[in-house]
Structure 1
């Protein structure tokens, strides 16, 4: 069998996304073998006795099973949406995805069909799926030949809207709407727990070390920003909002740390790439050590593997973790 490999370069911008989304997806290539949102494209609802129904996707109408049983998710960013709805896919993709702290238990026995860079169409075919859901433009044509495939453009929906749309696809719209209602109530309850901190307009910044590069993040690039800023209504220092919130991120130099982070009461700090010495060079520097939040011990080091994701499943867990942390540091 001759395999043709389509290769993409994973760039920094692949971590980006549309407003109110978490991180953007990692790019993939393929090893080829044989609502509540008015913008949602209208679909023909499944009849109670119909085995298949027509879903009007962004790629056109797709005949999909009314109650799919063998679902493949070849992108890590949609995994949590299925788990939130009580659905376990038969196969997923992602780097070391079965050991992900949020997914490890839920994905026991699930197959892996690729990582963040490649997926195997041959393996997907061998699993005989009855439904595939993806956002990958480059592999859609090949994957759609294997089984009914729904293409959901990345960034078209925020995480709540996307959960409801996937709920429609899986015939679980009521469960999705209920989750959104319950989560909105949970957000309000968590905000009440932080009422004093929010009323005092405490500033929270998200800062990441990436080798020799340094970055600030806003509300739309994962790393807890969706919960911190959009969910809990907290604010970053004014200068951080000015430079990082429009695009979702901004780079900065070591020397400008006091300028951007000097007004931060709390800092969420991550480490995405490089060697340990790169991190130490920053954290041991006078620029970092002089920050008020650092002196006060108000720094939380987040795990990028968990805080990268911005699906419903991950955000629910991040909400609990972030509120617990902030309450402990008040």
Structure 2
């Protein structure tokens, strides 16, 4: 889901290749003993002391991958997650390198000028060229050992914290907790203003988040992006009972269903978009009589999300989603 598994496998391949190159470089002669380790003949991996000399001291950060010595004020962050880039942007720190998913997020338009798009298969060589002082990735990512030769690595366990908790955590990481608190306070104020109006407009209607994909549909819940954090979490709107059970009460945040089961999972209001993880044609669902007979479709209570943007649940993306979701729900008659 969300391309995290694909990123891990790619990074695993990078690790194997780089490790072999590292062994080759180390074995090229005894006179290399006092030289920095390399992952290729032309690229030098900085030692930990090299990093320390470029920043005004380090601090211990209690990350999900252990206690990590990080710069007090990291300035050259490489984000290898796609899903955390918006946190740093909201905190006022622009990464020097991101994956393509972040680079293509419409909500980040104009915010990533000069930032290196590392693609979806980032090579250690590309990362080295950016001279990062901090690398962000997921826990369990293969090849973390290689990245640790480049810069301190903070790994995050996806889903361990909600987005507000994660915002405060990243505020600590960059040495600016106040910026994290400021965003959370501003966000909660906006929710308090909107929530009564949204609940009055929606009433007892149920809301579904549905993505067609090659084998059927994904049903999303409260913690897997696509507006779920806002719809179910902040606004407290109701999902259909089957969707509530499968995608929310289960704690997974999502469920997969066949087209035949769609009526059981469909709410009075639907937010939908094609699944970004495959190339299947969503018209297989949208043109199907089962879909066309849904009450929400007949009443035109269906709203199209953006598959390149609404997958994310970072502060910048959530701000954009909040506007779209609020406008959509307030238009319900």
Q: TM-score, normalised by structure 2?
A: 0.80
| Correspondence for 2:75 among 49, 69, 78 | 69
Paired residues of 2:201 and 2:332 also in contact (CA < 8 A): no
Aligned residue for 1:324? Answer: 327
SS in 2 for 1:300: strand
The equivalences for 1:249-328 within 5 A come to 249-261=254-266, 264-272=267-275, 273-276=278-281, 279-328=282-331
SS in 1 for 2:70: strand
Aligned residue for 1:180? Answer: 184
Aligned residue for 1:196? Answer: 200
SS in 2 for 1:56: strand
Residues 198-225 of structure 1: per-residue CA shift (max 9 Å, x gap): 5x22210111110242222211222111
Paired residues of 1:125 and 1:146 also in contact (CA < 8 A): yes
Question: Which stretch has the larger CA shift, 283-292 or 222-231?
Answer: 283-292
Paired residues of 1:266 and 1:298 also in contact (CA < 8 A): yes
Cα deviation, residue 169, structure 1: 0.9
Q: Does 1:107 align with 2:112?
A: yes
Paired residues of 1:74 and 1:114 also in contact (CA < 8 A): no
Aligned residue for 1:5? Answer: none
Paired residues of 1:24 and 1:221 also in contact (CA < 8 A): no
Paired residues of 2:215 and 2:258 also in contact (CA < 8 A): no
For 1:179 and 1:25, the matched residues in 2 are separated by 30
SS in 1 for 2:318: helix
Greater radius of gyration (CA): 2
Cα deviation, residue 173, structure 1: 0.4
**Greater relative contact order: 1 or 2 (C-alpha under 8 angstroms, separation 6 or more)?**
1
Per the alignment, do residues 54 and 260 of structure 1 end up closer, same or farther by CA in structure 2, a change over 3 Å counting? Answer: closer
Paired residues of 1:194 and 1:323 also in contact (CA < 8 A): yes
| Correspondence for 1:213 among 211, 216, 221 | 216
Residues 220-268 of structure 1: per-residue CA shift (max 9 Å, x gap): 222111111001111111122122221322222222322332xx22111
Aligned residue for 1:38? Answer: none
Unaligned runs of 5+ in 2: 19-38, 40-54
Q: TM-score, normalised by structure 1?
A: 0.81
Paired residues of 2:77 and 2:97 also in contact (CA < 8 A): yes
SS in 2 for 1:305: coil
Aligned residue for 2:33? Answer: none
Give the CA RMSD over aligned residues.
2.1
Cα deviation, residue 305, structure 1: 1.4
Aligned residue for 2:94? Answer: 88
Q: Which has the higher helix share?
A: 2
Per the alignment, do residues 70 and 50 of structure 1 end up closer, same or farther by CA in structure 2, a change over 3 Å counting? Answer: closer
